[in-house]
Amino acid sequence: MSAAGGPGAGSIAGAGAGVLGLTGASDQIDFARLRAERRRRLFDAMAAGGVDVLVLGRPANVAYASGAQQLWTAGTRPFGPACLVVRSTGRVHLLSTWDAGVPPEIGHDELFGLSWNPAILASNLGAIAGLGDAAQVGTDGFSPGARQLLAALCPHAAVVDAAPVLSRARTPKTPDELACIVSAAGIAEAALSALVAALDPGVSERQLLGVYAEAIAGLGAPTPPTEAVVCATPRQGPVRLRRLATDRCLAPGELVVLNPGAFYAGYEGTLARTWVVGAMVPSPAQRRLAQRSRETLQAVLDACRAGTTGAELCRVWDSTGEAPPPEPFVRGVGLGAELPLIGHRVGQSAQLAAGTVLAVTAWVAVDGVGGVLEQDLVLVTDGEPARLTRYGRGPLA
110 and 88 in a common domain: yes
User: Between 48 and 113, where is the model more confident?
Assistant: 48
226 and 184 in a common domain: yes
Alpha-carbon distances, residue 175 vs 25, 73, 85, 299, 309 (angstroms): 10, 29, 24, 26, 24
Lowest average pLDDT, out of 17-21, 139-143, 356-360, goes to: 17-21
pLDDT on residue 10: 31
pLDDT classification of 236: cutoffs 50, 70, 90: confident
pLDDT on residue 12: 32
72 has pLDDT over 70: no
176 and 288 in a common domain: yes
Stretch 42-66: mean pLDDT: 95
pLDDT digits (tens, 9 = 90+) for 249-289: 999 999 999 999 999 999 999 999 999 998 778 999 999 99
DSSP state, residue 109: G
Question: Do the domain assignments include residue 24?
Answer: no
122 and 228 in a common domain: no
Lowest average pLDDT, out of 18-27, 29-38, 119-128, 310-319, goes to: 18-27
pLDDT classification of 79: cutoffs 50, 70, 90: confident
93 and 196 in a common domain: no
14 has pLDDT over 90: no
Q: How far apart are CA 130 and CA 45, in angstroms?
A: 18
Q: How far apart are CA 166 and CA 42, in angstroms?
A: 7
Question: Do the domain assignments include residue 210?
Answer: yes
CATH label of the domain that carries residue 298: 3.90.230.10
Judge whether 272 and 189 are in contact, CB under 8 Å.
no
pLDDT classification of 9: cutoffs 50, 70, 90: very low
Question: Which of residues 161, 196, 219 is at a domain's end?
Answer: 161
13 has pLDDT over 70: no
pLDDT on residue 6: 39
User: Between 166 and 144, where is the model more confident?
Assistant: 166
Stretch 10-21: mean pLDDT: 34
322 and 259 in a common domain: yes
Percent of the chain with pLDDT over 90: 69
197 and 154 in a common domain: no
How remote is the C-alpha of 277 from its chain's centroid? 28
Question: Do the domain assignments include residue 17?
Answer: no
Question: Which of residues 137, 161, 185 is at a domain's end?
Answer: 161
pLDDT classification of 69: cutoffs 50, 70, 90: confident
195 and 65 in a common domain: no
In the three-class reduction of DSSP (H, G, I as helix; E, B as strand; rest coil), residue 91 is classed as strand
pLDDT on residue 115: 78
pLDDT on residue 23: 34
Percent of the chain with pLDDT over 70: 91
pLDDT on residue 98: 84
163 has pLDDT over 90: yes
Q: How far apart are CA 248 and CA 70, in angstroms?
A: 35
Stretch 50-55: mean pLDDT: 96
Judge whether 10 and 396 are in contact, CB under 8 Å.
no
336 and 275 in a common domain: yes
pLDDT on residue 121: 83
Q: How far apart are CA 383 and CA 336, in angstroms?
A: 25
pLDDT digits (tens, 9 = 90+) for 367-397: 999 999 999 999 999 999 999 998 998 888 8
Domain count, the chain: 2
pLDDT digits (tens, 9 = 90+) for 183-199: 999 999 999 999 999 99
71 has pLDDT over 60: yes
Alpha-carbon distances, residue 215 vs 189, 211, 226, 263, 342 (angstroms): 10, 6, 14, 13, 31
Range of the domain at 109: 52-161
pLDDT classification of 27: cutoffs 50, 70, 90: low
Q: Which of 255, 259, 293 is nearest to 276 (CA)?
A: 255
Question: Do the domain assignments include residue 310?
Answer: yes
222 and 154 in a common domain: no
Burial 170-204 (b: 16+ CB within 10 A, else e): bbebbbbbbbbbbbbbbbbbbbbbbbbeebeeebb
Neighbour tally for 61: CB within 10 Å = 24
Question: Do the domain assignments include residue 3?
Answer: no
At 57, give phi and psi (nearest 5°).
-130, -20
Stretch 359-371: mean pLDDT: 95
Question: Which of residues 114, 132, 161 is at a domain's end?
Answer: 161
Question: Do the domain assignments include residue 19?
Answer: no
Stretch 321-329: mean pLDDT: 95
pLDDT on residue 20: 41
pLDDT on residue 36: 97
pLDDT on residue 280: 79
206 and 93 in a common domain: no
186 and 142 in a common domain: no
CATH label of the domain that carries residue 114: 3.40.350
Question: Do the domain assignments include residue 15?
Answer: no
